[in-house]
Amino acid sequence: MFMRVVSPGERGTPEATGAESGTLSSLLPGGRLPRGAVVSTGGDLPLLIALAAEAAGDGGAWAAVGLPQLGGLAAADAGLDLACGLAVPEPGRRWPEVLAMVCEAAPVVLLGPVGQVALRTSRRIAARLRRSGTTLLTWQDWPEAQLRLRVTEASWDGLGDGYGLLAGRRTRLMVVGRGAATQLRHAEAWLPGPDGSVRLITEPAATAGGDAVPLRPITAG
């Protein structure tokens, strides 16, 4: 069997794990979305959909909780199979219970805006995810996310002054993780591209001096 020697510094990078280049996964530490963990998307629904599509794969089950505004067409274009999905658009205040039930059934769960999350609730959810191996993708920033993605810049192509059509959104993505993956990574991506699909424009690059990146936003006082 063919084997590649991976140097210690290279271990865990997409090149070492064999993630397909050009996909969002190749931007992530380890080359894939972590299972049994939370990934936050900083309030960007196209990013949330794109990650869910990569995590669910072809014909994989997924569930959306608290996302009445989820655009089904965009989701289908990004690669989510609508037939394998389940949505609870308005779980109300019982969202933690709904989430717990859904995690048992679907390996990929999308969670919409739910407001402030109590520490107890988030810990309980984290335990549940570890047990079921479900990837939870949250719309909002999550206090204990394993990975945090964010769209830092975005601009749409295709529209002029009274002519044209929306063609694609060029975005600059930022990824920061916990533990071994604290190094900040950047990439430019079509989110979505002209045909509705998602792919990277530039190869992911790491920021030098990644140790200095704060894990939590620094606030005064």
Question: Which residues contribute to the site for another protein (CB under 8 A)?
Answer: 44-46, 48-49, 59, 61, 63, 68-77, 81-91, 94, 97-98, 101-102, 104-106, 153-156, 159-169, 191-196
12 or 79: CB nearest another protein? 79
**Residue 179 C-beta: closest distance to another protein, Å:** 28
Preceding omega of 217 cis (within 30 degrees of 0): no
- Location of structure tokens 């779980």: 91
Residue (47 or 175) nearer to another protein, CB: 47
Residue (18 or 72) nearer to another protein, CB: 72
Q: Residue 79 and residue 59: Cα distance in Å, rounded?
A: 9
Please give the Cα distance from 164 to 133 (Å, whole number).
45
Distance CA 14, CA 155 (A): 27
Minimum CB–partner distance for residue 15 and another protein (Å): 29
Q: Kindly state the tokens that stand for 208.
A: 């030098």
Q: Shortest distance, CB of residue 215 to another protein, whole angstroms?
A: 26
**In the complex, what is the shortest distance from the CB of residue 80 to another protein, in angstroms, rounded to a whole number?**
10
Which CB sits closer to another protein, 31 or 96?
Answer: 96
Spatial CA neighbour of 32 closest among 20, 42, 49, 45: 20
- Give the nearer residue to another protein in terms of CB position, either 64 or 181: 64
To the nearest whole angstrom, how small is the minimum distance from the Cβ of residue 94 to another protein? 7
Other C-beta atoms closer than 10 Å to the C-beta of 95 total 20
Gap between the Cα atoms of 182 and 177, Å rounded: 5
